[in-house]
Amino acid sequence: MPPPRPVVFVVDDDASVRKSLARLVKTAGYEVEAFASVSEFLARAPFEGPGCLLLDVRMPGRTGLDLQETLRAAERRLSIVFITGHGDVGSSVTAMKGGAVDFLTKPLDEEALLTAIRQAVGRTIDEQAEQGRVTAVRNCVATLTPREAEVFALVVTGMLNKQIGGRLGIAEKTVKVHRARVMEKMQAGSLAQLVRLAGTGGIIAARA
Amino acid sequence: MLVVALLALLCGAPSSPGRVVRPARTVVLLYPEARLLPEILAVEDAIRPALDPDGAVSLYTEYLDLARTTDVEYERQVIALLREKYASRRVDLIMPVAFPALRFFLSHRAELFPGVPAVFAAANLDAVTGLDLGSDITGVRLPSEWGATLEAALALQPRTRRAIVISGTSATDQNLQAAAAHDLARYRDRVEITYLAGWPIARLLDEVATLPKDTVVLFVSLLRDQAGRLFTDPEAVSLITRASSVPVYGWSETHLGHGIVGGRLASFESQGTRAAELAMRVLGGERPGALPVVDGSATAYMFDERQLRRWGLSASRLPAGSIVRYQDASLWDLYGWNIVGVGALVAALALLSTGLLIERSGRRRAEVSLGERLRFETLLAEEAATFSRVSAADVDHEIERALRRIADFLGVDWSTLTEYSEDSRTARVTHRWMAEGMDPQPVAALGLGEIPWSVAQLRRGATVRFARVEELPEVGAAVDRQTYRRLGVKSSVAVPLTMEGVVIGALAFSAVAVERAWRDEFVQRLQLLGEVFANTLSRRRAEMEGQRLRQDLAHIGRVSTVGELTASLAHELNQPLTAILANAQAVRRILDAGQADLIEVRAIVDDIVDDDKRASDVIGRLRSLLKKGTLERSSLDMSELVGQVARLVAGDAVLRGVVIRLELAPDLPPVAADRVQLQQVVMNLILNGLDAMRDSAIGSRILLLRTAREGEGSVAVTVQDCGAGIESTELGQVFDAFYTTKANGLGMGLAIVKSIVEAHGGRVDARNNPEGGATFSFVLPIVQKGP
């Protein structure tokens, strides 16, 4: 079974532009879904696979920048290529700060457009993979008991079992048992791996 | 003994110690006409307060109606009446006003006022021979200034070859005509002088309507024409100046403002003042024979700015020391509405005051029911007041209501108000009222061609009236007679509606059932009402004109916003271009891939064609937005243009507490320019000036608009404000785009001014005034004549 083809979501209020861009992107081997407005796009079921957004900045109702903000708040990883009718410095700065892959001016240069889409899809895949890892770690963390979580948080700071026991007011032997359970639940083969997982999941910051 | 007693009595009178008690004095004023003419009114207004400051003098006035002196029986009755009236009264002084009254006095003093001294006023004696004033008569002569007036006319119109001198048939007319001929004799070598003395008014108006350009008209006096129709001089002057194809000059201040260009004008007020001085001395005991006859000294070169403009006469050719009146004529342009209001109010006051005069003469002659007259005067005064404040939207309604009310009062069967088109070729009945049971159709359908004679009269500014259709001229008005008979009209009166010398319509009242004679006074009142209506209608016309102007400017507004629209237009144009490009790229990729689905390719190409059409539509819309934006150069009078724009912003200026002052040169050479664009330039400069004075003290917000010639080949327009001025470091930048000191300004106004002026080959300038504020100006080249 071949990997699913990336999907490019075209959002532009102008029907001609929408249709023609969909065609062009399709010829480059992508699946295309086109939407006339931000609301229409948001009404679609959240997309988890590879793909990107080709998003008009200025549209009646919610703008492309609004959508960018909405997706970020929802932690949905879908890279964005903005397209705009006229170079608007303010919008482009906002868009790029918000993590847009590119900001292209209409009419669109074919090469620049397809390059940007390629990059955006790649970034989406990377980000989604990263997010998958984080989610997995968090899922593991979620299985820890409160005491195990405390031990986990102190272990990754490099403390010895004796010190941890002193800090938590429990026997060194008991710390050792919790530690083994943590390694097991987190599916970590070594202390180094456990520390890396802690970084990915943001555990240190959250529980220290 | 008696003397002592008298002295004691005098000294003992506590109320007036040391004051000499004089018996009440009686003075009789003799006027030659049956009416209180404006000239006579001026004399009396000066005499009365001077002669009688504390009411100790009894003033009697006699209107001799000497126009009828050809009627021997009438004269005999007048003398008998006067003898009877003054038989038991002690008369101390007689004051004949104007030569015919003086002559009457001299002829009959032996039987009427034996031994009574006399002081005359406003009598022209220049052409009078064999006059023996005797030892107890003195007075004030009316100077002959026709020569001086003709001199001024020749200076203003150097190509003049002919002069037409107009006078009527009354005694005063004849006296003055003789004096004029006497005075003008010395110009016979320079100008061919023709005297139209005592012509019927209609023929006279026909004659002056077709005078060649090398002619001037000198108005002398026309109180009565050959047909016996009575006029006041201002009335006659109005009729003649309206009809005349060439400028008309006069000699009395009372002529000014009624259409004459001007002349060396005599003041009747000063005649009265000087006569009163002499009268006081005679009453004080001096012998008239010891007081020499004096000239009423106050004559002056006076001219009417509006007429100078009308005839294109250069003020620079006026005699030294000339007084130019009605210079505020442009105020009309500026504050049309308000002035009409004031004008109507003045008309209302005039109505009231003539009402009072009529009442006076009515008491003297006791001809007509005073009650009916008063009611009519009241009605007209009320109407005048109503129309002085009527809003444009209510004009139609109010006119119809007024027509109904007046027709009702007069007991006529219908009344109509007809408006002539601006080219005066067509007319339409705009308002009418018909009595119940009348069929409005025939009147509504009445064409100008069906009453050609009446229309011709009205167009010339004359009144049409007849008690019976048979009174209309049999030959000239044959068609009219037929039409009136067909309509069943027995009698009718129609007055022209005139606005600034142009007939814009007519007001008519007709009776079907009765033959009605229309009295002079009544027709005069109707003429006043006509003026009120004319004011109202022309003010509405002006408003419509203003609207058109505003539309032009709205267009200019569109053009100047094209700049702002460019961004959004670029966006609109970008969409189809984006689609076209993306489709073309897609189809290329499809073809490159070598597996072309021809149906899909076809669909894409169709889309490309559609989007291309869409792009051209956008361009088409842009073009239509700019449609009127093509430069159309025409010959423009910048004074007129500045006046127009000033009128447009007048309301705005009032709201901002700014007084706009105009100093517009009357005879600027034209510039070749696009009217709408230059309106925009002037508008921007005015708005800039208004904005600049936003923070100035209310009383000092004055915006001065001035036009003038600049050197030989240009015209300059300056707009001077009393604002804060321009920072000296910024003087060089004010005309740059996006330069602005206003929080909400775009900084485009002055930049637009600069680009338009420079596109017309002119230049702009901005500087600070030494006395504060800034002056913005631009200069445009004038149209060069010939190669």
Please count the residue pairs, one from chain A and one from chain B, whose beta carbons lie less than 8 angstroms apart.
Answer: 70
The whole-angstrom distance between residue B101's C-alpha and the CA centroid of its chain comes to 33
SS (H, E, C) B474-534: CCCCHHHHHHHHHHCCCEEEEEEEEECCEEEEEEEEEECCCCCCCCHHHHHHHHHHHHHHH
pLDDT value for B334: 36
Q: Could you give the ipTM of this predicted complex?
A: 0.76
Task: Work out the mean pLDDT of chain B and round it to a whole number.
Answer: 78
Q: Report whether pLDDT(A33) > 60.
A: yes
> Chain A contact for B604, CB < 8 A?
yes
Per-residue tokens: B432: 């009418």
B747: confidence class by pLDDT, cuts 50, 70, 90: very low
Higher pLDDT, B775 or B632: B775
b/e map B558-571, b = 16+ CB within 10 Å = ebbeeeeeeeebeb
Percent of chain B with pLDDT over 70: 81
> Chain B contact for A112, CB < 8 A?
no
pLDDT in tens, B479-495: 888 888 888 888 899 99
pLDDT value for A80: 94
Residue in chain B nearest A104 by alpha carbon:
B578
Q: Taking residues B254-268, what's their average pLDDT?
A: 88
pLDDT in tens, B15-71: 444 444 456 788 999 988 877 778 888 888 888 888 877 767 888 888 888 766 567
Contacts of A32 in chain B (CB under 8 A): none
Higher pLDDT, B107 or B422: B107
Q: Taking residues B260-289, what's their average pLDDT?
A: 87
Q: Report whether pLDDT(B154) > 70.
A: yes
Q: Taking residues A107-133, what's their average pLDDT?
A: 90
A86: confidence class by pLDDT, cuts 50, 70, 90: low
pLDDT in tens, B636-684: 999 999 988 887 777 667 767 788 889 999 889 999 888 877 887 888 8
pLDDT in tens, B539-549: 777 776 666 66
Residue pair B328/B159 in contact (Cβ under 8 Å)? The answer is no
SS3 B109: helix
Higher pLDDT, B733 or B466: B466
pLDDT value for B632: 66
Q: Taking residues B726-751, what's their average pLDDT?
A: 62
- Across the interface, whether the CB atoms of B585 and A24 are under 8 A apart is answered yes
**Choice among A159-168, B141-150, B441-450, B746-755 with the minimum mean pLDDT:** B746-755
Per-residue tokens: B269: 């007020």
Nearest Cβ partner of A14 from B575, B593, B607? B575
Cα distance between residue B703 and residue B583, in whole Å: 60
A23: confidence class by pLDDT, cuts 50, 70, 90: very high
Q: Report whether pLDDT(A122) > 80.
A: yes
Give me the half-sphere count of Cα atoms (radius 13 Å) on the Cβ side of residue B207: 17
> Chain A contact for B586, CB < 8 A?
yes
**Choice among A39-53, B405-419, B442-456 with the minimum mean pLDDT:** B442-456
User: Comparing C-alpha atoms, which of B731, B719, B661 is closest to residue B691?
Assistant: B719
CA distance B663 to chain A (A): 49
**Choice among B29-38, B206-215, B255-264, B490-499 with the minimum mean pLDDT:** B29-38
> Chain B contact for A21, CB < 8 A?
yes
SS (H, E, C) A155-191: HCCCCCHHHHHHHHCCCHHHHHHHHHHHHHHCCCCCH
Q: Taking residues B450-471, what's their average pLDDT?
A: 86
Cα distance between residue B576 and residue B560, in whole Å: 26
Peptide bond preceding A107 in cis form (omega within 30 of 0): yes
pLDDT value for B622: 59
> Chain A contact for B613, CB < 8 A?
no
Q: Taking residues B312-339, what's their average pLDDT?
A: 62
pLDDT value for B369: 55
Q: Taking residues B446-458, what's their average pLDDT?
A: 83
Per-residue tokens: A177: 């048992």
pLDDT value for B3: 39
Angle at alpha carbon of residue B280, lines to B276 and B284, rounded to 5°: 170
Residue in chain B nearest A86 by alpha carbon:
B571
Task: Work out the mean pLDDT of chain A and round it to a whole number.
Answer: 86
- Helical packing angle, B452-459 and B478-487, nearest 10°: 110
Per-residue tokens: B82: 């006067």
Q: Taking residues B287-316, what's their average pLDDT?
A: 82
Residue pair B779/B716 in contact (Cβ under 8 Å)? The answer is yes
Residue pair B416/B449 in contact (Cβ under 8 Å)? The answer is no
Q: Taking residues B762-777, what's their average pLDDT?
A: 91
Contacts of B577 in chain A (CB under 8 A): 106-107
Residue pair B516/B416 in contact (Cβ under 8 Å)? The answer is no
- Across the interface, whether the CB atoms of A20 and B583 are under 8 A apart is answered yes
Higher pLDDT, B746 or B709: B709
Q: Taking residues B323-339, what's their average pLDDT?
A: 50
B333: confidence class by pLDDT, cuts 50, 70, 90: very low
Percent of chain B with pLDDT over 90: 14
pLDDT value for B298: 67
Q: Taking residues B165-177, what's their average pLDDT?
A: 88
SS3 B649: helix
pLDDT value for B557: 55
Q: Taking residues B171-199, what's their average pLDDT?
A: 88
**Choice among A12-16, A37-41, B375-379, B430-434 with the minimum mean pLDDT:** B375-379
pLDDT value for A68: 92
SS3 B221: strand
Cα distance between residue B181 and residue B43, in whole Å: 25
Q: Report whether pLDDT(B113) > 70.
A: yes
